[in-house]
């Protein structure tokens, strides 16, 4: 704007603001349709390639979507070399769904365990089978989703309808398959003793012929990692080494080997000896995208800790602490509550960490722990209403955040099914407000985001996107019941998937 700071010189480098367009919606609500509680989406995650998308819901189901605008893994690179029109954008289609978790009851503690999927994480793909981890409050499950041939067997030696010891699928309804097993076994033993096999074998025996080329997707639970968390699991995250992952609850972080489900190692424990001394809980944790020994976790006090797993087996001492100290003048009753970080994400480069607290998004550079490199106001117009938000518990809503694959932009959700996209390169003034509907730009504010001049010239820390208060005055009442908590950015393209209650909206730019 009118500042002549060094940022302005870099302005041309900042990419132009994106124009977001509606791409797809799954599970759109028709007017007046009631949303079933179990259908509300509670987790969204793209896989590493961006060819697959998974959502989890409060009913414990996981739904998979696959990208349709690219044919196969191998030829995508060739396709990209061709000159395609810019309008190409990722398109997904429903692939399959499965019931990941069921409601349970912990009889020892008299606690109901909800089936709600808290987090989904994709694992390394192998042999065209998809692998993912899903978790509810207590139990993590490892799923394999694979095409299976639908078998039609013909050319049996024995007629399945024939009576007797033959146990084909037809007879299982009457005798039960297990009942026939000893029968086969006995006869076999008798053969062994009294029978001599001719050198050429018996020509009358034949192998079954499997016909049919159709396949269907089958999800199979491969492992269950249970009984390791006393509190509710808030995050799971895969390590870049491909063999371990972590799970974090309010007070502890455990390290697992994917292949071993009966033991895990506790690597962080913030539980005080006396629970009355408890002042801070873990809210989110994530592994570094490439450094297998680096792990970050956020806390309810608004700090982010970076751990080095090499240093010691029990990582109670952090290697770096990222914290921003609020000026004491601006403190209020709500300061501590809204400082709580609800989500952190590493950038793909591994150098930046994005954090979301109630009012802001903060981008941190791991080389600077004193303050974030950028702070974005998500819904500053709610600040006067914090009291109401506290009254109706909305202030404890946990919004997720995400970074674009190129690291140029960040996004997070808000109320009234709105979400915000900010440019985070130095000098960018991009700050979009989008609505999770078929017309995302409906709520776009015309006035450009302001830059806080005094701050930027002094510290280079840029505060952007503080919205003009006019939007509050334009008659829109903010709906705290429709909140957009979950969203994910496609790993390679400018495409965002976000959840509005039970609907999954996808946008591209």
Partner 1 sequence: MAMIDEPLYPIAILIDELKNEDIQLRLNSIRRLSTIARALGEERTRKELIPFLSENNDDDDEVLLAMAEELGVFIPYVGGVEYAHVLLPPLETLCTVEETCVRDKAVESLCRIGAQMKENDLVDWFVPLVKRLAAGEWFTARVSSCGLFHIAYSSAPDHLKTELRSIYGQLCQDDMPMVRRAAATNLGKFAATVEPSHLKTEIMSIFEDLTQDDQDSVRLLAVEGCAALGKLLEPQDCVTHILPVIVNFSQDKSWRVRYMVANQLYELCEAVGPEPTRADLVPAYVRLLRDNEAEVRIAAAGKVTKFCRILSPQLAIQHILPCVKELSSDSSQHVRSALASVIMGMAPVLGKDATIEQLLPIFLSLLKDEFPDVRLNIISKLDQVNQVIGIDLLSQSLLPAIVELAEDRHWRVRLAIIEYIPLLASQLGVGFFDDKLGALCMQWLEDKVFSIRDAAANNLKRLAEEFGPEWAMQHIIPQVLDKINNPHYLYRMTILHAISLLAPVMGADITCQKLLPVVIASSKDRVPNIKFNVAKVLQSLVPILDQSVVESTIRPCLVELSEDPDVDVRYFASQALQACDQVMMPS
The residues that touch partner 1, with contacts defined as CB under 8 A, are 124, 126-127, 129, 131, 144, 146, 148-149, 151, 153, 156-159, 162, 165-169, 172, 177-178, 180-181, 184-185, 187-188, 190-192, 195, 197-202, 204-208, 210, 222, 240-244, 259, 290-293, 309-313
Placement of tokens 């696959």 in the chain:
66
* Terminal C-alpha separation, the chain: 25
**CB-based contact 280:271 (threshold 8 Å):** no
CA angle 468, 342, 27 (to 5 degrees): 80
- What the block records as the tokens of 202 is 């018996």
Shortest distance (Å) from residue 14 CB to partner 1? 33
| Cα distance between residue 235 and residue 483, in whole Å | 20
Q: Show the tokens assigned to 131.
A: 């692998």
Chain centre distance of CA 456: 34
Least distance between partner 1 and beta carbon 494 (Å): 26
Residue 211 CB, nearest approach to partner 1 (Å): 11
For residue 259, the minimal CB distance to partner 1 (Å) is 6
Of 71 and 149, which has the nearer Cβ to partner 1? 149
- Residue 9 is inside which H or E element, if any? helix 6-10
**Distance (Å, whole) CA 194 – CA 187:** 11
What are the φ/ψ torsions at residue 462 (nearest 5 degrees)?
Answer: -105, 130
Q: Quote the least distance from Cβ 244 to partner 1, whole Å.
A: 8
What tokens appear for 49 in the block?
A: 């390639």
**Residue 56 beta carbon to partner 1: minimum distance, rounded to whole angstroms:** 22
- Min dist CB 63 to partner 1, Å, is 22
Structure tokens at 304: 């982010």
Cβ partners under 8 Å of residue 426, min gap 6 = 7, 10, 14, 460, 462
- C-alpha torsion angle, residues 162, 166, 171, 175 (rounded to 10): 120
DSSP letter, residue 258 = T
Cβ distance to partner 1 smaller for residue 346 or 505: 346
Cβ proximity to partner 1, 44 vs 123, nearer residue: 123
Q: Would you state the torsion angle of the CA atoms of residues 273, 274, 277, 279, taken in this order, to the nearest 10 degrees?
A: 60
Q: CB of residue 267 vs partner 1: minimum separation in angstroms?
A: 12
Nearer to partner 1, 107 or 195 (CB): 195
Q: Which is nearer to partner 1, 350 or 407 (CB)?
A: 350
Shortest approach of partner 1 to residue 79 CB, angstroms?
18
DSSP symbols for 407-459: SSEEEEE-BTTEEEEEE-STT---EEEEESSS-GGGG--SSPPP--HHHHHHH
Cα(303)–Cα(305) distance, rounded to whole angstroms?
7
Nearer to partner 1 (CB atom), residue 131 or residue 225:
131
Residue 177 or 384 having the CB closest to partner 1: 177
Phi/psi-derived region of residue 127, left when phi > 0, alpha when psi is between -120 and 50, beta in every other case:
left
Nearer to partner 1, 158 or 455 (CB): 158
Angle at 261 between CA 259 and CA 264, to 5 degrees: 105
Residue that the structure tokens 């970050």 belong to: 296
Instruction: Give whichever of 218 and 445 is closer to partner 1, judged by the CB atom.
Output: 218
Residue 7 C-beta: closest distance to partner 1, Å: 35
- Residue 320 has which token pair? 């770096």
Nearer to partner 1, 207 or 473 (CB): 207
Rounded Cα gap, residues 501 and 485, in angstroms: 9
- Closest approach, Cβ 189 to partner 1, in A, equals 9
CB of 150 to partner 1, least distance (A): 11
**135 vs 239, beta carbon nearer partner 1:** 239
Residue 162 or 335 having the CB closest to partner 1: 162
The nearest distance, CB 460 to partner 1, in angstroms, is: 32
> 274 is written with which tokens?
């006396």
Q: Which is nearer to partner 1, 169 or 459 (CB)?
A: 169
Q: Which three-class secondary structure state does DSSP give residue 119?
A: strand
CA distance 508 to 91: 10
Angle at 235 between CA 67 and CA 488, to 5 degrees: 30
């Amino acid at each position: 704007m009118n500042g002549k700071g060094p940022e302005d010189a870099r302005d041309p480098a900042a990419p132009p603001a994106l124009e977001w367009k509606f791409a797809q919606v799954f599970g759109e609500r028709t007017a007046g349709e009631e949303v079933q509680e179990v259908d509300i989406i509670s987790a969204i995650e793209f896989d590493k390639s961006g060819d697959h998308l998974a959502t989890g819901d409060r009913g414990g189901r996981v739904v998979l979507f696959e990208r349709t605008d690219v044919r196969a893994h191998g030829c995508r690179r060739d396709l990209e070399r061709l000159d395609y029109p810019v309008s190409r954008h990722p398109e997904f289609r429903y692939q399959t769904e499965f019931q990941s978790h069921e409601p349970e009851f912990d009889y020892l503690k008299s606690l109901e365990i909800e089936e709600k999927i808290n987090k989904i994480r994709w694992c390394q793909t192998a042999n065209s089978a998809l692998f993912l981890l899903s978790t509810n409050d207590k139990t993590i499950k490892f799923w394999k989703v694979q095409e299976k041939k639908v078998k039609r067997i013909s050319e049996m030696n024995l007629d399945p309808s024939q009576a007797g010891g033959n146990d084909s699928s037809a007879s299982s309804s009457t005798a039960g398959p297990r009942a026939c097993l000893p029968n086969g076994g006995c006869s076999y033993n008798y053969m062994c003793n009294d029978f001599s096999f001719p050198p050429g074998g018996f020509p009358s025996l034949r192998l079954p012929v499997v016909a049919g080329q159709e396949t269907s997707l089958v999800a199979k639970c491969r492992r269950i990692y249970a009984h390791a968390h006393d509190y509710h699991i808030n995050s799971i995250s895969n390590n870049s080494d491909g063999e371990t992952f972590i799970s974090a609850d309010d007070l502890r972080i455990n390290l697992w080997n994917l292949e071993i489900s009966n033991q895990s190692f506790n690597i962080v424990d913030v539980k005080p000896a006396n629970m009355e001394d408890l002042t801070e809980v873990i809210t989110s944790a994530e592994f570094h995208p490439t450094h297998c020994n680096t792990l970050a976790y956020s806390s309810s006090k608004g700090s982010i800790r970076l751990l080095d797993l090499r240093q010691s087996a029990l990582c109670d001492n952090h290697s770096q602490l990222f914290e921003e100290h609020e000026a004491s003048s601006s403190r209020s009753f709500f300061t501590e509550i809204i400082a709580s970080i609800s989500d952190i994400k590493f950038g793909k480069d591994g150098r930046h960490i994005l954090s979301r607290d109630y009012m802001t998004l903060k981008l941190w550079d791991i080389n600077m722990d004193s303050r974030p490199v950028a702070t974005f106001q998500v819904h500053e117009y709610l600040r006067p209403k914090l009291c109401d938000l506290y009254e109706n518990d909305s202030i404890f809503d946990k919004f997720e955040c995400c970074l674009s694959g190129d690291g140029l932009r960040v996004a997070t959700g808000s109320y009234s099914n709105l979400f915000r996209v900010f440019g985070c390169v130095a000098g960018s003034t991009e700050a979009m407000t989008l609505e999770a509907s078929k017309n995302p730009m409906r709520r776009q504010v015309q006035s450009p985001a302001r830059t806080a001049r005094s701050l930027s010239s002094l510290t280079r820390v840029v505060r952007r996107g503080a919205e003009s208060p006019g939007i509050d005055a334009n008659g829109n009442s903010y709906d705290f019941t429709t909140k957009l908590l979950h969203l994910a950015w496609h790993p390679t393209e400018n495409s965002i998937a976000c959840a509005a209650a039970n609907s999954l909206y996808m946008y591209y730019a």
